[in-house]
A and B are shown apart, each in its own frame.
Chain A
Amino acid sequence: MSHQDFSVTRTSRAARIATVLGAIVLVLLVLAPWWAGRADMRLLGELFLYLALASLWNLLAGYAGLVSVGQQAFVGFGGYMLFALTIFAGLPPVVAVLGAGVLGAMVAVPVALLIFRLRGAYFAIGTWVMAEVFRLSFAQISALGGGSGSSLPTNIVRSMAASRDGREALSYWLALGAAVLVIGVVYLFLRSNKGLALSAIRDNELAAGSLGIDIWRTKFLVYVITAALTAVIGALIFLQKLRISPDAAFSVNDWTAFVIFIVVIGGIGTVEGPIIGTLIFFALRETLADLGTIYLIVLGIVAIVIMLKAPKGVWGLIRARFDLQLFPLGFRVERSNRDKET
C-alpha cells in the first residue's frame, strides 16, 4: 500500500452533507416570519440567543480554559447599554446593539486585567464578583430606573418598525443573525492559528508555552472578544424583552447556569456541543417546564452525571460512535481509492 492511498483533508463527507443541510435549515429559518406563528418565532428567537451565549461560553471555558460563572456581567451590561444609548444618545436600536458590543469590549479590558490575577477556579468566582459589582452599580443609576429598572420608551420601540409584526420579524432576524455570526466567529477563530494555539494550550499549557505561544495574550483576546459579543447578545435579549432591571439583567441562573448546562450537556470543547445542547435544553424546557424547580434539579443532576460519565457530552458520545465532525477544525487523514481531489 503506497502513501498515495491516503489523503489529508480538513473536510469530510459528513461535514459536506452538514453544510448542505445547514444551508437548507438556515434558509427555512430566515423565512420563518412567513411560516411560523408569533409564539414559535419568539421561542426560536430566544433559542438563537441562548445558542449564541452557549457558543461564546464554550469558547471561553472549553477552549481558552477561562471558566467564568460571571458572563451575566456582560449580558446585563449589553442590555443596559442598549437602553442608555437609545434613551440618552438617541441612537437607533440596531446601532445601539452594535455600540453595546464596542462598549462591552472596552469595559472587558480593565475587568480582565484585574481578574486574570486569579488562577483557575478562583478566577471563576472572581468573574462572579465582577458581575455582582456590575449589578450593584447599575442598581445605583437612577436615570435607568435604579433597583427597579425601566422599560424601553414606546417611541424607541416604534422606531424599529411601524407594525408589531415588523418589529417581531426584525427582532427574530437579529437573533438569528447574531447566532450565525457568533458561531461563525467562534468557528473561524478556532480554525485560525490563534485558535489552534488555544487547543494546544488546553491540551498542555507547559508545552504550548515552550512553543512560544503567548498564552496570556491569547486568553486575554478571547476574553475581550467573548465579552463584546456577549454584550451584543445581551442587548438583543433586552430588545426582545423591552424591559430591564438589575436582577433580571445580571441573573446568574438565566445567563450563566443555563448556559453552562447547555454546553456541558451538549459537549464542552466542541463547536457542535452548544448546538446540540441548546436543542436538548429547549426540548426539556418545553416538556418539563411545568415541573418548576424539579426541572432545574433534574437539569443539575443530568449535567453532573454527564460531567462525570461522559465529559464530552452528548456530541462526544455521537462523535465517538460515528467519527463525525460537522465543523472540521483539525486536519484528518483519509484513506481514498481515488487520487487526491484538488
Chain B
Amino acid sequence: MEWFNALVQGALLGGLYALFAAGLSLIFGVMRLVNIAHGDLIVLAAYLGLSVTLALGVHPLLALVVVVPAMAAAGYVLQRGILNQTLGQDLLPPLLVTFGLSVIIQNALLEVYSADPQKMNAGVLETASVSVGGLSLGVLPVLTFAVAVLVIAALQWTFYRTALGRAFRAVSDNQDIAQLMGLNRHHIFGLSMALALAVTAIAGILLGIRTSFDPSIGGGRLIFGFEAVIIGGLGNLWGTLAGGVILGVAQTIGAKIHPGWQLLSGHLVFLIILAVRPNGLFPRISG
C-alpha cells in the first residue's frame, strides 16, 4: 500500500511536470525552437504570482488572472523582439540567445527578490486532502493534475480544431508556403510563444503554491520538462503528459528507496528510455 501510495503521488506530481513540458513541446512543434530559458520563465511566473498575491491580497489561484495574460504578452514581445531574429538553419543563435536570457532572468530575479526561498500562501488548499480507497490524496496535487489534463486537452483542441492551430501546423510544415496563404510567420511564432508562456504561467503559480522556490531553480524545471517531452515523444502532447507521469513516478519511487535518489532516479529512467527508445515512447515528429 505504501508503494502504491508513492506510485499515485508520483503520477500526480507528473501533472506538474507535464505543465512544465507543455510550453516547451508547443514551441518546438511550431518553430523547432528549444528555449533554454523556459525553466527560468516558470520561476519568473511564480515570482509574478507572489507579487500579485502580496500586492492585491488575493489567493494565488486568483493571481492567474493577472499573471497568465502578462506572461502571454511577454512571450509575444520576446518572440517578435528577439527570438524571431535567431530562427534559421543555424542552431547556435537560438540556443545561445535563450541561454543568455536564462542568465538575465535568473539574476534579475536575484536582484529584485533576493536569493531567499519564497512560497505562496494558498491557505487550506495546501493541506486539504481527500481519502480515496484508503489513500490520502492532497487536493492540491489532484487539482494540479486535473489542470494539466485540461491544459493539454485545450492545447490539443487548439492545435487540431481551430484556425490558429491550423496556422501553427501550416507554418511548422512549410514556412514559405504558409506565407503565401497570407500568414505572417513572425506573428504566428509570436502567438505560439504567447500561448506557451500562458501555460508556463499556470505551471509557475502551481509550482509556487506547492513548494518554496528561489531564483536558481529554473534549470531544474527546464530539465524536468525536457525529460517529460523526450520520454513522451516529440510533438505528442498526450505523450508529454505520460512522460511527466513516468518521471514523477520514477522520482517518488526513487525517493522511497533512498531519500537522496529522488532526482537521480528520475534522470536514470530518462536515460534508460533514451537508450532503449531514442524517439520516446509515443513519437509524432522527428527531431
Interface residues in chain A, defined as those with a beta carbon under 8 Å from any beta carbon in chain B: 61-62, 65, 67, 69, 114-115, 117-122, 124-126, 128-129, 132-133, 136-137, 139-140, 147, 252-253, 257, 260-261, 264, 268, 293-294, 296-297, 299-301, 303-304, 307-308, 311
Contact = CB atoms under 8 A, between A and B. Distances in A.
Given A124-B36, A299-B103, A308-B86, A129 B97 contact: no
A132 B274 contact: no
Contacts of B268: 133
B92 interface: yes
A252 B100 contact: no
Contact of A114 (B32, B99, B274): B274
For chain B, the bracket of interface size reads 35 or more
Nearest to B109: A293
A63 to B, nearest CB: 11
Contacts of A307: 86, 92-93, 96-97, 100
B287 A129 contact: no
Contacts of B263: 132, 136
Given A114-B274, A307-B97, A311-B93, A257 B226 contact: no
B223 to A, nearest CB: 6
Nearest to B264: A136
Contacts of A65: 91
Interface in B240-271: 260-261, 263-264, 267-268, 270-271
B287 A120 contact: yes
A297 B223 contact: no
Given A300-B100, A303-B100, A117 B274 contact: yes
A252 B219 CA distance: 9
Contacts of B108: 293, 297
Given A118-B230, A132-B263, A124 B270 contact: no
A308 B223 contact: no
Contacts of A299: 103
Contacts of A253: 103
Given A120-B34, A121-B95, 14 more contacts: A65-B91, A114-B271, A118-B230, A120-B91, A125-B34, A129-B270, A140-B260, A253-B103, A257-B99, A261-B100, A268-B96, A293-B108, A304-B104, A307-B86
